[in-house]
Amino acid sequence: MRFANTDRGARAKLRSFVDFHRSHYRDDPQYIPLLDYEYLGFRLLGIDGYFEPRSLFLQHAAIAFFMAYDDRRQPVGRCIAFVNDDYNAHWNERTGFFGCFESIPDQKVTDGLLRVAGDWLRARGMRVMRGPQNLPVNQATPGVLTAGFDSRPVIYYHYNKPYYLGLLTSAGMHPVTRVRSWEVPVHAPMEAKLQRVAQIVQKRGGVVFETWGERPLAERKREMLDIYNDAWNDNWGFVPYRAEEFFKVIDDEQLIVDRGQFSIAYWRGEPAAFFGGVPNILDRMRPSRPFPRFELWRAARMLATKRSIKGLRLGYLGVKKKFRNRGLEGLLLWKQKLYTQQRNYEYCDIGYVLEDNAPVLSMLAMMNATPSKTYTILEMPL
């Protein structure tokens, strides 16, 4: 067994790193890969890949790529290790991360990958290794999938082999928390209690909603960044967005976003909260069986048919601290459900939700939501 550090400047080696999932999940219908461009970039289309040196994330992070090979020099596993300076500054920690983890069902492969990743992090002063955490941080769901393997594929939720949790715990990692997603019945009648509470809250605060396109995009970006970094600031594992990174996320999502699905809530004229959903573009991104590497076809098909997508992921729902405990969370969910019904969506996945987020969990119960996926986040001392 051999473990190699893949230099991120060597594009051929990075291609091998990205390609590993093609053979690893070849016969698994639940796995729908992201476009290779999202990792490696495509300058003609203006796409900056997560792994490229010019990635905005890598302006404040260091990253290494590791591949495991068997005695025949065939790849059998991979992972990344990275140090996110913004995370450690925010939490005053020395925590490093591993992610993009894949392995055949061989404990020696996982042990070796975690060992070399841990050594790399330790050499940079890290005291804890946590993960798996894929890129981009704040968008990709953290952890390893541990329940919901037969649930529908949804954008920003990664899929992995069911045996991964066993490999990671046997390698010395232990669970620290879990995040979950929930599918809400869109066309079920509006819950009477939720509707009653929402109407009271909206009247009490003079709450007005504006969608994404009702103000200049530059102004909307600043409002959303301010709300996001305030609303999520205390959440476990949160990393504050830098303005340039957040604005690029907004720019990139212009291609796929349903503009009516993003709304800002103003409490007596002040930006107080927002929610946002992204159409589940994975519905249109299954690789072509005859031409599995025809990435332009996948991208073109997704863009050409995105208006017919019948599901979405509600991944953003935040209320500024000063406006909490006023019922705004329920009002946002009520408003979101009205919109999905009007747009004739067939399903809505809400997540990810920390397992101890009691206010959101109680609202999901009120909406008769059904658990869809569970991800377990693990760590180990270095």
Which CATH homologous superfamily contains domain 2-178? Gcn5-related N-acetyltransferase (GNAT) (3.40.630.30)
- Find which of 94-108, 129-143, 190-204, 249-263 is predicted with most confidence, using mean pLDDT: 94-108
**How many helices (H) and strands (E) are present in the chain, helices listed first?**
11, 13
Q: Is the confidence at residue 197, as pLDDT, over 80?
A: no
> What is the per-residue pLDDT for 3?
47
Q: Where do the CATH 3.40.630.30 domains begin and end in the chain?
A: 2-178, 186-366
pLDDT in tens, 80-108: 999 999 999 999 999 999 999 999 999 99
Alpha helices (runs of H) in the chain, residue ranges in sequence order: 11-24, 36-40, 85-91, 107-122, 164-170, 192-205, 217-231, 243-253, 295-305, 328-342, 358-366
Task: List, in order, residues 6 or more apart from 298 with CB less than 8 Å away.
Answer: 35, 285, 286, 287, 288
pLDDT above 90: percentage of residues in the chain: 36
- The predicted pLDDT at position 281 comes to 83
Indicate yes or no: pTM above 0.75.
yes
Q: Is the pLDDT of residue 147 over 80?
A: yes
Confidence (pLDDT) at 69? 92
Q: What is the pLDDT of residue 291?
A: 61
As its CATH architecture, domain 186-366 has: 3-Layer(aba) Sandwich (3.40)
